[in-house]
Structures are given as structure tokens and as C-alpha cells.
Amino acid sequence: MTAFSFSILARDGAARRGRMTTAHGNVETPAFMPIGTAATVKAMRPEDVAATGAEIILANTYHLMLRPGAERIAALGGLHRFMNWPRAILTDSGGFQVMSLAKLREIDEAGVRFRSHLDGTPYRLSPERAIEIQALLGSDIAMAFDECTPFPSEEPQARASMELSMRWAERSKSAYAPRPGHALFGIVQGSVYPELRQRSAAALAAIGFDGYAVGGLAVGEGQATMFAVLEATLPALPAERPHYLMGVGKPDDLVGAVTRGIDLFDCVLPTRSGRTAQAFTRRGTVNLRNARHAGDPRPLDADCACATCRSYGRAYLQHLVRAEEILAPMLLTAHNLHYYAELMQDMRRAIERGTLADFAARFAEQQGEGDIPPL
């Protein structure tokens, strides 16, 4: 089986155009991962997700641990077979969901005790168990178990949280059994404090991972602060490994992060927005609840080649939204994921040509025009 690898094919400033090779195919980077929380990308069949251009998705360790259970998925042939997704899968370690969803959390050196948000069942999640669950799922990329530092946090709290995550990262690495085509990524923590972020990056680099994620951002700190954290953190990470920004984000977040050296993203925004009547276009966001679209026959984006834009106008989409038809989130989610995939493809081409700065400038100029009515 092919070994996991990451190759940088072109550079433009700090931006990189690369390729990850996994057990389930190549992933061209920069890349965006649709969220398949419970072994499904909401409102989409797996084959439709692939048709948008996605080469990798993210699934959720916490949710799959609770339902249907990692051991059951393993007995059924692993997550790829279980959800009929033959391409690459990254699984998060569950740390963020334990902090944000679980009840009665108790954190200590060993891990976290918590009760399921579904039925109150008690669980214990440690670095070792998080790695075991991800191995049972069979994901191509597993994540080290970490504590997602609350925001805002004073520096002493952020430092203690980061140092705990680094100790858990060591244990995650020790528990991980390497397999061809599979990888383990570490997660940088440290809140908004550059010195803590740099210490975390150095600690992870010393442990040695196949890739490095920046966690604990997009939690309320604002875009300028997020970019400042990336600028302080990324130079401290091994340059030859993939860099993953977790839980981000809006299209302009992606463009700004790519220019700073990020290779991989995930976020619920395109799928969640598709279920709440929001569509992303080259000229900004379209809100299909706005009355101005009721008689508008235009597609969401005249330059978009997705099936939604090829076949349906804004007036019909608004009708579906207002009638609360199931087809509305299906069509809008498909469009949004296609938009995100095409945005990443456009940035890959710009990096290859050395024109990413021009692309970013044009992108910024065009935003905000999506809801402008026809003349």
C-alpha cells in the first residue's frame, strides 16, 4: 500500500500548492473538507459530495463513539465502507465536542470523564482511547487528543491547557500504530498568545507528527487575531508537513489563511448555510429568504458549473425555501460545497501561476454583490 506523503508542488510567498497521498487516494491542496459528523454530509449522498470536487471529508470521533459505536463500525468493515465513501477521511479526536457538547465534564491528567449529551451515559475519553477509536474507524488521518482551550482565557489558563494538550499529544503518538497510507496529526494550542503557540508548535515538532493542525481558533477571537496567530505559529511548524486550520471558515478566512501557509480546512459553514437558505457565490452571500429573489430567474452564480446553478433559478430556490421543501437544503448544500471546492481549485491554480495576491485582491473586491437585484 502507498505510504502517506505530502509533496509541495509550487509556492507563492508563504502559500503552498501541494498533494497529500493517502490510503484512499490523493488530496490536492489547499483543500477544504466537508463535514460528515455522523458518517454523513447532511443533505448529501456520498456520490454527490464527490461530484462537488471534494477529495476528503471529516468525520467526528465523539459522535460516532456515542452512536453507533466505533466497534460496531469496525465490525461492519470500517467507516469508508459503512458510509460508502471510498476517498480519504480525516477524523477529529473528539476533544472539541467533549468540551462543547458533553455534560458534567471532569478533566484530569488521564483524560476526560463526561456524560453523553444524547442520553447521559457516562464515558471516559483519554488520548489512548481516542486513538483506538480512530483506528477502529479506519480513517486515513487521525488527530491527537487535545483540550480545546476556552475563549477567552487568561494567559495562565491558556498555558496550562496547552501544556496538558502537549502531554496528551505525546501519549497520542505513543498509542498510534502506523499503517501505510495513514497519518497522525498533532494540534497546536495556546489561545491567542503567540509565545504559547510557538512553544506548542515546537513541542509537537519535537514529538514528530505526519501533519500539524492549528486548533482553538474561530471561537470568537476575530479574523485579524486569527491571522496574527497563524503568522506567529506557522513558521514554527515543520515546513515539509501539511498545515491544517481546524474549524475555519468563511470564504475570506480561507483565502487569507492560504496566503499565510495553510493547506487544509474544515468547517460546518457551507453545509449549515445550505440548510438555512444561505448560498455562497463569487460575488458574496445570497440570502434566499430575501423577497427580492421571488421573481429572479437568474442562477445563484452565472459562472458556477454546479448542477444547482445549471438547472435552477433563484426564484425557484426561494420557493423551495419558503415552502420548507427538503429539496432546498439539498440543492443549496450541493452548490455551497461546489463553491468551496472551486475556490480551493482557483487558489491552487493561482499559486502555480504565482498570482495568488492578485486573486486575493479580486476576490475581496467582488464580495458583497451577491444579493444585488438584476437591472
The active-site residue, picked from 92, 140, 210, 296, is 92
User: Can you read off the three cell numbers belonging to residue 273?
Assistant: 448555510
Q: Which of 348, 345, 339 is nearest to 366 (CA)?
A: 339
Q: Are 344 and 254 in contact, with CB atoms under 8 Å apart?
A: yes
Instruction: Describe the strand order of the beta sheet including 211-214 as a list of residue ranges.
Output: 31-33, 264-266, 243-245, 211-214, 183-188, 141-143, 88-92, 56-60
Q: Which of 210, 266, 296, 301 is catalytic?
A: 266
Residue 372 is given by DSSP the state P
DSSP per residue, 59-76: EEHHHHHHTT-HHHHHHT
266 is catalytic: yes
* DSSP structure class, residue 172: H
Decide: 90 and 139 in contact? Cβ < 8 Å: yes
| 140 catalytic residue (yes or no) | no
**How is residue 2 annotated by DSSP?**
P
Positions marked active-site: 92, 266
